Amino acid sequence: MTYSEIVYEVRNDAAWIGINRPEVRNAFREQTLDEIADALNSTREDPTIVAAVIYGVDGHFSAGGDFHAMMKLNKANSAMWNDRMQKVAMTCRNLPIPVVAMVEGACVGGGHELMLWCDLVIAADDSIFGQTGARVGACPTVGATQYIGKLIGERRAKEMIFLCKRYSGKEAAQIGLANESVPAADLLGRVEEVVAQIKSYSSATIRATKVALNYDSDALYPAWQHGMELLANIWGTEESLEGMNAFLEKRPADFHQFRERNKAELDTYMEAFNTGQNQSESSRQARG
Protein backbone atom coordinates (compact mmCIF):
# COMPACT_ATOMS: atom_id res chain seq x y z
CA MET A 1 0.00 0.00 0.00
CA THR A 2 1.18 3.52 -0.82
CA TYR A 3 0.78 5.81 2.18
CA SER A 4 -0.50 9.37 1.94
CA GLU A 5 -2.23 9.75 5.32
CA ILE A 6 0.68 8.48 7.42
CA VAL A 7 4.46 8.48 7.31
CA TYR A 8 6.21 5.19 7.89
CA GLU A 9 9.80 4.25 8.45
CA VAL A 10 11.78 1.52 10.13
CA ARG A 11 14.50 3.04 12.25
CA ASN A 12 16.73 1.37 14.83
CA ASP A 13 14.66 -1.79 14.51
CA ALA A 14 11.38 -0.07 15.31
CA ALA A 15 8.49 0.82 13.01
CA TRP A 16 7.59 4.51 13.35
CA ILE A 17 4.04 5.29 12.20
CA GLY A 18 3.13 8.97 12.13
CA ILE A 19 -0.40 10.19 11.47
CA ASN A 20 0.23 12.84 8.83
CA ARG A 21 -2.80 15.14 8.75
CA PRO A 22 -1.49 18.11 10.75
CA GLU A 23 -3.95 20.49 9.06
CA VAL A 24 -6.68 18.89 11.21
CA ARG A 25 -4.52 18.12 14.26
CA ASN A 26 -4.07 14.60 12.88
CA ALA A 27 -7.75 13.75 12.98
CA PHE A 28 -8.23 10.55 11.03
CA ARG A 29 -10.67 9.42 8.35
CA GLU A 30 -11.32 5.98 6.88
CA GLN A 31 -8.27 6.14 4.61
CA THR A 32 -6.04 6.97 7.59
CA LEU A 33 -7.30 3.98 9.55
CA ASP A 34 -6.66 1.69 6.57
CA GLU A 35 -3.06 2.90 6.35
CA ILE A 36 -2.40 2.58 10.09
CA ALA A 37 -3.68 -1.00 10.08
CA ASP A 38 -1.61 -1.86 7.01
CA ALA A 39 1.56 -0.34 8.45
CA LEU A 40 1.14 -2.15 11.74
CA ASN A 41 0.51 -5.48 9.99
CA SER A 42 3.56 -5.01 7.77
CA THR A 43 5.79 -5.36 10.83
CA ARG A 44 4.94 -9.07 10.86
CA GLU A 45 7.02 -9.44 7.69
CA ASP A 46 10.24 -8.37 9.42
CA PRO A 47 11.18 -10.27 12.60
CA THR A 48 13.96 -7.76 13.33
CA ILE A 49 11.35 -5.10 14.19
CA VAL A 50 11.05 -5.05 17.98
CA ALA A 51 8.35 -2.41 18.50
CA ALA A 52 5.94 -0.12 16.69
CA VAL A 53 5.66 3.54 17.67
CA ILE A 54 2.51 5.52 16.83
CA TYR A 55 2.73 9.32 16.94
CA GLY A 56 1.33 12.42 15.30
CA VAL A 57 3.22 14.64 12.87
CA ASP A 58 3.82 18.29 13.83
CA GLY A 59 2.73 18.58 17.40
CA HIS A 60 -0.47 16.61 18.01
CA PHE A 61 -1.01 12.90 18.58
CA SER A 62 -4.58 12.94 17.21
CA ALA A 63 -7.73 15.00 17.68
CA GLY A 64 -9.79 11.87 16.90
CA GLY A 65 -12.15 11.24 14.02
CA ASP A 66 -12.41 13.82 11.25
CA PHE A 67 -15.93 15.24 11.50
CA HIS A 68 -16.07 15.83 7.74
CA ALA A 69 -15.87 12.04 7.37
CA MET A 70 -17.95 11.14 10.42
CA MET A 71 -20.86 13.39 9.44
CA LYS A 72 -21.38 11.23 6.35
CA LEU A 73 -22.06 8.17 8.50
CA ASN A 74 -25.45 6.69 9.32
CA LYS A 75 -26.81 3.33 10.39
CA ALA A 76 -26.70 1.98 6.84
CA ASN A 77 -23.00 2.69 6.28
CA SER A 78 -21.65 2.78 9.86
CA ALA A 79 -19.72 -0.45 9.41
CA MET A 80 -17.42 1.34 6.95
CA TRP A 81 -16.08 3.37 9.88
CA ASN A 82 -16.71 1.08 12.84
CA ASP A 83 -15.04 -1.98 11.33
CA ARG A 84 -11.93 0.04 10.50
CA MET A 85 -11.67 1.33 14.05
CA GLN A 86 -11.99 -2.18 15.41
CA LYS A 87 -9.43 -3.50 12.92
CA VAL A 88 -6.80 -1.02 14.11
CA ALA A 89 -7.63 -1.80 17.75
CA MET A 90 -7.34 -5.54 17.27
CA THR A 91 -4.17 -5.19 15.20
CA CYS A 92 -2.54 -3.28 18.07
CA ARG A 93 -3.58 -5.99 20.51
CA ASN A 94 -2.60 -8.93 18.34
CA LEU A 95 0.82 -7.82 17.12
CA PRO A 96 3.60 -9.90 18.70
CA ILE A 97 5.56 -6.73 19.48
CA PRO A 98 4.78 -3.86 21.87
CA VAL A 99 2.94 -0.91 20.36
CA VAL A 100 4.07 2.37 21.91
CA ALA A 101 2.08 5.61 21.78
CA MET A 102 4.27 8.73 21.74
CA VAL A 103 1.84 11.44 22.80
CA GLU A 104 2.19 15.18 22.46
CA GLY A 105 -0.43 17.87 21.99
CA ALA A 106 -4.03 16.72 21.60
CA CYS A 107 -4.85 13.10 22.39
CA VAL A 108 -8.64 13.34 22.48
CA GLY A 109 -11.77 11.59 21.26
CA GLY A 110 -10.95 8.75 18.88
CA GLY A 111 -7.29 9.73 19.19
CA HIS A 112 -7.52 8.99 22.90
CA GLU A 113 -9.01 5.58 22.07
CA LEU A 114 -6.12 4.93 19.67
CA MET A 115 -3.76 5.66 22.56
CA LEU A 116 -5.70 3.22 24.76
CA TRP A 117 -5.14 0.39 22.27
CA CYS A 118 -1.38 0.75 22.57
CA ASP A 119 0.67 -1.30 25.04
CA LEU A 120 2.82 1.52 26.40
CA VAL A 121 2.21 5.27 26.49
CA ILE A 122 4.93 7.89 26.85
CA ALA A 123 3.55 11.43 26.95
CA ALA A 124 4.77 15.00 26.95
CA ASP A 125 4.01 16.73 30.25
CA ASP A 126 1.84 19.33 28.52
CA SER A 127 -0.12 16.98 26.23
CA ILE A 128 -3.89 16.73 26.67
CA PHE A 129 -5.81 13.49 27.25
CA GLY A 130 -9.60 13.49 26.98
CA GLN A 131 -12.84 12.03 25.64
CA THR A 132 -15.13 14.43 23.79
CA GLY A 133 -18.07 12.24 22.74
CA ALA A 134 -20.70 13.81 25.01
CA ARG A 135 -19.76 17.27 23.75
CA VAL A 136 -20.02 16.41 20.06
CA GLY A 137 -22.69 13.70 19.90
CA ALA A 138 -20.54 10.60 19.41
CA CYS A 139 -20.05 7.50 21.57
CA PRO A 140 -16.54 6.39 22.66
CA THR A 141 -17.35 2.68 22.54
CA VAL A 142 -14.19 1.38 20.82
CA GLY A 143 -11.98 1.31 23.87
CA ALA A 144 -12.87 4.21 26.13
CA THR A 145 -15.87 2.56 27.76
CA GLN A 146 -13.96 -0.71 28.14
CA TYR A 147 -10.43 0.41 29.04
CA ILE A 148 -10.60 3.65 31.01
CA GLY A 149 -12.35 2.15 34.02
CA LYS A 150 -9.70 -0.59 34.20
CA LEU A 151 -6.91 1.97 34.10
CA ILE A 152 -8.11 4.80 36.32
CA GLY A 153 -11.20 3.45 38.10
CA GLU A 154 -14.88 3.59 37.26
CA ARG A 155 -15.56 6.94 38.97
CA ARG A 156 -12.83 8.76 37.07
CA ALA A 157 -13.84 6.96 33.85
CA LYS A 158 -17.42 8.20 34.13
CA GLU A 159 -16.18 11.70 34.90
CA MET A 160 -13.91 11.60 31.87
CA ILE A 161 -16.66 10.32 29.55
CA PHE A 162 -19.78 12.04 30.96
CA LEU A 163 -18.13 15.39 31.78
CA CYS A 164 -15.41 15.39 29.10
CA LYS A 165 -12.78 15.91 31.82
CA ARG A 166 -9.27 16.36 30.49
CA TYR A 167 -5.89 15.55 31.95
CA SER A 168 -2.46 16.86 31.13
CA GLY A 169 0.19 14.32 30.18
CA LYS A 170 1.73 14.72 33.62
CA GLU A 171 -1.63 14.06 35.30
CA ALA A 172 -2.31 11.15 32.94
CA ALA A 173 0.90 9.46 34.10
CA GLN A 174 -0.01 10.06 37.75
CA ILE A 175 -3.42 8.37 37.47
CA GLY A 176 -2.41 5.53 35.11
CA LEU A 177 -3.59 6.67 31.68
CA ALA A 178 0.05 6.93 30.59
CA ASN A 179 3.12 5.04 31.73
CA GLU A 180 5.17 8.17 32.17
CA SER A 181 5.47 11.78 31.08
CA VAL A 182 8.51 13.88 30.28
CA PRO A 183 9.12 17.45 29.10
CA ALA A 184 8.11 17.79 25.44
CA ALA A 185 11.72 18.42 24.39
CA ASP A 186 12.72 15.05 25.85
CA LEU A 187 9.83 12.99 24.46
CA LEU A 188 11.45 11.55 21.34
CA GLY A 189 14.65 10.71 23.18
CA ARG A 190 12.74 8.93 25.93
CA VAL A 191 10.72 6.86 23.45
CA GLU A 192 13.93 5.90 21.66
CA GLU A 193 15.33 4.76 25.03
CA VAL A 194 12.25 2.62 25.63
CA VAL A 195 12.58 1.05 22.18
CA ALA A 196 16.27 0.35 22.80
CA GLN A 197 15.37 -1.30 26.11
CA ILE A 198 12.80 -3.51 24.38
CA LYS A 199 15.42 -4.42 21.76
CA SER A 200 17.75 -5.67 24.47
CA TYR A 201 15.18 -8.19 25.73
CA SER A 202 13.84 -11.50 24.42
CA SER A 203 11.29 -11.05 21.64
CA ALA A 204 9.91 -14.55 22.23
CA THR A 205 9.29 -13.74 25.88
CA ILE A 206 7.62 -10.43 25.08
CA ARG A 207 5.44 -12.06 22.44
CA ALA A 208 4.27 -14.79 24.84
CA THR A 209 3.71 -12.45 27.76
CA LYS A 210 1.76 -9.97 25.65
CA VAL A 211 -0.69 -12.77 24.82
CA ALA A 212 -0.88 -13.74 28.49
CA LEU A 213 -1.35 -10.14 29.65
CA ASN A 214 -4.21 -9.72 27.17
CA TYR A 215 -6.01 -12.83 28.41
CA ASP A 216 -8.07 -11.07 31.07
CA SER A 217 -9.27 -8.42 28.63
CA ASP A 218 -9.86 -10.64 25.60
CA ALA A 219 -13.56 -10.24 26.40
CA LEU A 220 -13.13 -6.72 25.05
CA TYR A 221 -13.77 -8.04 21.55
CA PRO A 222 -17.47 -8.78 22.10
CA ALA A 223 -17.70 -5.59 24.16
CA TRP A 224 -16.43 -3.64 21.16
CA GLN A 225 -18.86 -5.46 18.88
CA HIS A 226 -21.67 -4.48 21.22
CA GLY A 227 -20.38 -0.92 21.33
CA MET A 228 -20.24 -0.71 17.55
CA GLU A 229 -23.88 -1.74 17.31
CA LEU A 230 -24.80 0.98 19.80
CA LEU A 231 -22.72 3.53 17.90
CA ALA A 232 -24.41 2.60 14.62
CA ASN A 233 -27.64 3.99 16.08
CA ILE A 234 -25.98 7.34 16.86
CA TRP A 235 -24.26 8.08 13.53
CA GLY A 236 -26.27 10.37 11.28
CA THR A 237 -28.87 11.33 13.89
CA GLU A 238 -29.92 14.97 14.19
CA GLU A 239 -28.37 15.08 17.65
CA SER A 240 -25.02 13.76 16.44
CA LEU A 241 -24.96 16.15 13.48
CA GLU A 242 -25.84 19.08 15.75
CA GLY A 243 -22.87 18.30 17.97
CA MET A 244 -20.40 18.02 15.11
CA ASN A 245 -21.72 21.07 13.26
CA ALA A 246 -21.54 23.11 16.47
CA PHE A 247 -17.91 22.08 16.93
CA LEU A 248 -17.00 23.01 13.36
CA GLU A 249 -18.91 26.30 13.61
CA LYS A 250 -17.30 27.08 17.00
CA ARG A 251 -20.61 27.55 18.82
CA PRO A 252 -22.30 25.83 21.76
CA ALA A 253 -24.33 22.80 20.72
CA ASP A 254 -28.07 22.98 21.35
CA PHE A 255 -28.79 19.48 22.60
CA HIS A 256 -31.71 20.64 24.73
CA GLN A 257 -33.92 20.98 21.67
CA PHE A 258 -33.91 17.20 21.38
CA ARG A 259 -34.86 16.76 25.03
CA GLU A 260 -37.77 19.16 24.52
CA ARG A 261 -38.87 17.29 21.40
CA ASN A 262 -38.69 13.98 23.25
CA LYS A 263 -40.73 15.45 26.12
CA ALA A 264 -43.42 16.63 23.71
CA GLU A 265 -43.59 13.14 22.17
CA LEU A 266 -43.75 11.53 25.62
CA ASP A 267 -46.51 13.94 26.67
CA THR A 268 -48.51 12.93 23.60
CA TYR A 269 -48.01 9.28 24.45
CA MET A 270 -49.04 9.76 28.08
CA GLU A 271 -52.16 11.66 27.02
CA ALA A 272 -53.18 8.71 24.84
CA PHE A 273 -52.38 6.31 27.67
CA ASN A 274 -54.36 8.24 30.26
CA THR A 275 -57.42 8.66 28.03
CA GLY A 276 -57.49 5.09 26.77
CA GLN A 277 -56.50 6.00 23.22
CA ASN A 278 -53.92 3.19 23.12
CA GLN A 279 -56.52 0.73 21.84
CA SER A 280 -58.71 0.37 18.78
CA GLU A 281 -62.08 2.11 18.52
CA SER A 282 -63.90 -1.26 18.55
CA SER A 283 -62.03 -2.31 21.69
CA ARG A 284 -62.86 0.95 23.41
CA GLN A 285 -66.58 0.59 22.53
CA ALA A 286 -66.64 -3.00 23.73
CA ARG A 287 -65.28 -1.93 27.10
CA GLY A 288 -67.82 0.83 27.45
> For the chain, how many residues are written?
288
| Residue predicted with more confidence, 17 or 247 | 17
Average pLDDT, the chain: 92
Q: What distance in Å separates the CA atoms of residue 277 and residue 167, rounded to the nearest whole number?
A: 52
In the predicted structure, residue 220 carries a pLDDT above the cut 80:
no
In the predicted structure, residue 48 carries a pLDDT above the cut 70:
yes
Among residues 89, 59, 92, 52, the alpha carbon closest in space to that of 191 is found at 52
The answer to whether 143 and 85 are in contact (CB under 8 A) is: no
Q: In this structure, what are the phi and psi dihedrals at residue 252, rounded to the nearest 5 degrees?
A: -65, 140
Residue ranges per structural domain of the chain: 6-237, 239-286
Q: What is the pLDDT of residues 250-262, one digit of tens each?
A: 899 998 998 999 9
Amino acid at position 35, single letter: E
pLDDT at site 288? 66
Share of the chain above pLDDT 70, in %: 99
Q: What is the mean pLDDT of residues 35-54?
A: 97
Bridge partner list, 206: none
Q: Whole-prediction pTM value?
A: 0.90
- CATH fold, domain 6-237, is 2-enoyl-CoA Hydratase; Chain A, domain 1 (3.90.226)
Q: What is the mean pLDDT of residues 26-55?
A: 97
Q: What is the pLDDT of residues 155-194, one digit of tens each?
A: 999 999 999 999 999 999 999 999 999 999 999 999 999 9
